[in-house]
Structure 1
Amino acid sequence: MTILIRGGTIVTAEHSFRADVLCAGGTIAAIGPDLAAPHGTTIVDAGEALVIPGGIDPHTHMELPFMGTVASEDFYTGTAAGLAGGTTTIIDFVIPGPTESPLAAYHIWRARAEKAAADYSFHVAITSWSDQVHTEMGILARDHGVNSFKHFMAYKNAIMVDDGILLNSFARALELGAIPTVHAENGEAVFHLQRRLLAQGITGPEGHALSRPPAVEAEAATRAIAMAGVIGAPLYIVHVSTEGATSAIARARASGQRVFGEVLAQHLVIDESVYRNPDFGFAAAHVMSPPFRAKHHQDALWSGLASGQLQTTATDHCCFCAPQKAAGADDFTLIPNGTGGIEDRMSILWHHGVAQGRLTPQEFVQITSTNAAKIFNLHPRKGAIAPGADADLVVWDPAARRRISARTHHQNVDFNVFEGMEVQGVARHTIASGHLVFTEGDLRARRGAGRYIDRPCFAPLMQTIATRNALTQPAATPRHPPA
């Protein structure tokens, strides 16, 4: 399929300019003024709209088995909803149980994802440590294009890892040229507070937020950063939700550590008052980890994005319907954790970011696409508008408005945490892998059209340092490793 995006203003992470974009064979073939349209070309009129790189959501959980149930959104419905909102690539998570093989789990998730309508990749969680895990991390990196490994510092008695596992896995990731990522909450503290709150008779959704105060996130983020610093490894912290964790990341970056922070669209605009709603269904629908916070934390997150101390935005898209959430009607610890957002992330970021003067259009592109592409080694294939890049593009109408509602969204969930919010900034057309998959409200997603995207590891950091030293210092006498 050949598509010519006629007119419009191209906005990238670096600059903006008016030009046409010709897409052919799934990639961008040419960029320039008044491009000729080959015979049979589909013309997309951008008019006064913007042309931006397709969004990358680096944190989703499609059809995740979790807390005794399975997320309602599968890889087809979830990626299709993403296309409707301008997201053309996701990075989901392979999460083996503590006794499961990471490599075997990876193959299970690959099979699940074959139905995806948009391109996808995977982080792989490390939930235990052994010689087998060490070996399989290497196989995943070398043979399957996995360059990021996830670690849960929360969910005691399930998938939580201790400091020993963190250190071993961080060191192995560094050796491979991969990046460790962490869910930063002190799981021991959360477990302790959960037990105490239940003993006090606090069983409703409000207990979820009370059991996960901001301090447990700040402590875990600070500890993970310290351990990464000891090893010399880079670190990516998912769903940063507090002022304390944001400050910890800023301090580490100021000292020269390679630490990156991710923010969820939900945490930028929703506050903890939702858990005090007397309607259990409403409050439970907002149960996610980390929970929603007091409003002043939102200011810190926006400041972090604007200053570059936080680099990416995501959704942690993990949907559970009302009957699933009802499992915790008498015990908040049994409410499946997760909310949706993949369809609305881009509009939320434009409306509350660019339209409110918090972000520039270039910064919007950075935090919704390009930064994730660079951090996870997808760039310049993804997150860029340049000849040879994948034809993942969005014609973005910065003035159009829409009202968000579960009645009209494409997500496979019966609730929308942004319900009733009117947003300015809408995807008018979405092009994925050179196909027009969403146009003027018409979703044309194709089951199975998504491709698995390899993300090669970077050159191992210690090897890079050794090479640099060899070029600047006299040769040393070779030393053999200890027997």
Structure 2
Amino acid sequence: MTMIIRGGTVVNADRAFRADVMTFGDKIVAVGENLEAPHSARVIDAHGQYVMPGGIDTHTHMNLPFMGTVTQDDFFTGTAAGLAGGTTTIMDFVIPSPQQSLLEAFHTWRGWAQKAAGDYTFHVAVTWWDDSVREEMGILVRDHGVNSFKHFMAYKNAIMADDETLVNSFRRALELGAIPTVHAENGELVFQLQQDLLRRGLTGPSSHPLSRPPAVEAEAANRAITIAGVLNTPLYIVHVSCAESLEAIARARANGQRVYGEALAGHLVIDDSVYRSADPEFAAGHVMSPPFRSKHHQAALWHGLQAGNLHTTATDHCTFCAAQKAAGKDDFTKIPNGCGGVEERMAVVWDAGVNTGRLTPSEFVRVTSANAAQIFNMYPRKGVIAVGSDADIVVWDPEGTRTISAKTQHAKGGFNVFEGRTVRGIPSTTMAAGKVVFDRGVLMAEEGAGRYVERPAFVPVSAKS
């Protein structure tokens, strides 16, 4: 079916311009003023609105088994919520257990994702190392379109990767034309600080940020950057939350390293006062890692986005209900780590970024879709309004408002870290693969309509496979 979006202002990462956008099937087929369309074409009126590439959330966890439980959102409910917020592609994580085959875990996640309503792709975590992991990394890149590998520097006695694993995996990624990514926190320090707090009887959720201060993140970020620098591999650091980590990234980039940083929407607007709430259920609802930081760090993250040292915005969408969070009511280390946000990211970043003058509309597109598509080799299929690109499009009403609430969200879990925040600038229509999936408050997501996105390797340094 032919669709035409008329009268809007197209916003790409490089420029904004007045144009109609026509789609046929799942592709954009024309961009220009006063386009002629078949009489049978469906017309979407975008006058007074922006027409932007659908958002790419570089960091989600749907259907994740974690800390003895499983997230509330599966791949259908999570991607459907994303579509309602203008996000048309998610990058989720395959996380093998220690000693588990990477390929076995990958196929498990692919099975879970069959019900996705929006497009999806995977980072694959390296949680242990031997020759079989090395071989399977090659198979994932060559046969399954995986070009990024995740390394958790935290979660001791679970999925933490030690330095030997980091070095071996980074080197292998470089050979394959893939990019290593890291969760940067010093897992040993976190563990020791947690034990110290518990011994002192400080068992509530207010202890969570005390066990993960900025210094433990900064140390791990610096270590990962140093390893990448020695091996001459690029590096992507997920959920950068503090000024010290940002400084490490900026310093490395100034020295010519290819280091990329990701900021979470929550870290940009929520501060650590949430952990001091008199309501332990409210405080536990905000437990995620790294934790929310002080306003000083929020300001630094915005500066990082503005200066180009942070490149993407994400959510780390990982939803747990109050009953699941209550597993840690007597021991904060047992609170399942995770918060939602896939539905809210775009509007929160627009409201706190564009409406305040911190970001231009084109910079907004850069940090919500275009950079992600380029860093992870999905561009120009994703991340741009252009002929030949996927018809993943959000028509954005800059004057539309929404008051965020768990009562009206599409995501599961019954809690929203942005509760009560009124945002100005929301999607009026979302198209995914050429179909209207959200229109003026009505969600029309279809289970199983999402497609797996293969991401080709970059030019490898070595021909080894």
Q: Is TM (by shorter chain) over 0.5?
A: yes
Tell me the distance in 1 between the aligned counterparts of 2:65 and 2:397: 37
Deviation track 1:93-117 (CA, whole Å, cap 9, x = no partner) reads 0000011001100000000000000
- Structure 1 residue 461 displacement after superposition: 3.7
SS state at 1:197 partner: helix
Deviation track 1:228-259 (CA, whole Å, cap 9, x = no partner) reads 01111000000000000000000000000000
Counterpart check, 1:371 vs 2:371? yes
SS state at 1:262 partner: strand
Tell me the distance in 1 between the aligned counterparts of 2:198 and 2:278: 18
Match of 2:289 in 1: 289
Q: Trace 1:275-354 onto structure 2 (pairs within 5 A).
A: 275-354=275-354
Match of 2:427 in 1: 427
SS state at 1:17 partner: strand
Can you give the 5+ residue segments of structure 2 that lack an aligned partner in the other structure?
A: none
Counterpart check, 1:143 vs 2:119? no
Deviation track 1:403-440 (CA, whole Å, cap 9, x = no partner) reads 00001011111000000000011000000000000001
- Structure 1 residue 286 displacement after superposition: 0.1
Counterpart check, 1:414 vs 2:414? yes
Match of 2:101 in 1: 101
Q: Trace 1:188-227 onto structure 2 (pairs within 5 A).
A: 188-227=188-227
- Structure 1 residue 39 displacement after superposition: 3.2
Number of residues paired by the alignment? 463
Q: Aligned AA for 2:110?
A: R
Tell me the distance in 1 between the aligned counterparts of 2:213 and 2:461: 35
- Structure 1 residue 2 displacement after superposition: 1.6
- Structure 1 residue 462 displacement after superposition: 5.6
Tell me the distance in 2 between the aligned counterparts of 1:461 and 1:223: 23
The answer on whether the counterparts of 2:176 and 2:462 sit within 8 Å (CA) in structure 1 is no
Counterpart check, 1:389 vs 2:421? no
Deviation track 1:354-374 (CA, whole Å, cap 9, x = no partner) reads 000100111000000000000
SS state at 1:256 partner: coil
TM normalised by structure 2 equals: 0.99
Counterpart check, 1:453 vs 2:426? no
Q: Aligned AA for 1:150?
A: K
Q: Aligned AA for 2:158?
A: A
Tell me the distance in 2 between the aligned counterparts of 1:70 and 1:46: 40
Tell me the distance in 1 between the aligned counterparts of 2:37 and 2:407: 39
Q: Larger C-alpha radius of gyration, 1 or 2? A: 1
Match of 2:77 in 1: 77
Q: Aligned AA for 2:183?
A: H
Tell me the distance in 2 between the aligned counterparts of 1:248 and 1:259: 10
Match of 1:133 in 2: 133
SS state at 2:9 partner: strand
SS state at 1:278 partner: coil
- Structure 1 residue 38 displacement after superposition: 1.1
Q: Aligned AA for 2:112?
A: R
- Structure 1 residue 119 displacement after superposition: 0.3
Deviation track 1:197-237 (CA, whole Å, cap 9, x = no partner) reads 00000000011110000000000000000000111100000
SS state at 2:47 partner: strand
Deviation track 1:157-197 (CA, whole Å, cap 9, x = no partner) reads 00001000000000000000000000000000000000000
Can you give the 5+ residue segments of structure 1 that lack an aligned partner in the other structure?
A: 464-483
Match of 2:32 in 1: 32
Percent identical across equivalent pairs?
66
Match of 1:58 in 2: 58
Q: Trace 1:252-267 onto structure 2 (pairs within 5 A).
A: 252-267=252-267
Deviation track 1:314-355 (CA, whole Å, cap 9, x = no partner) reads 000000000000000000000000000000000000000000
SS state at 1:260 partner: strand
RMSD: 0.7
Tell me the distance in 2 between the aligned counterparts of 1:99 and 1:281: 35
Q: Aligned AA for 1:70?
A: V
Q: Aligned AA for 1:17?
A: F
SS state at 1:48 partner: coil
TM normalised by structure 1 equals: 0.95
Q: Aligned AA for 2:175?
A: E
- Structure 1 residue 451 displacement after superposition: 0.2
Match of 1:18 in 2: 18
Match of 2:172 in 1: 172
Tell me the distance in 1 between the aligned counterparts of 2:99 and 2:208: 28
Tell me the distance in 1 between the aligned counterparts of 2:460 and 2:289: 32
- Structure 1 residue 278 displacement after superposition: 1.3
Tell me the distance in 2 between the aligned counterparts of 1:420 and 1:342: 16
Tell me the distance in 2 between the aligned counterparts of 1:33 and 1:297: 43
SS state at 2:46 partner: strand
Tell me the distance in 2 between the aligned counterparts of 1:384 and 1:402: 26
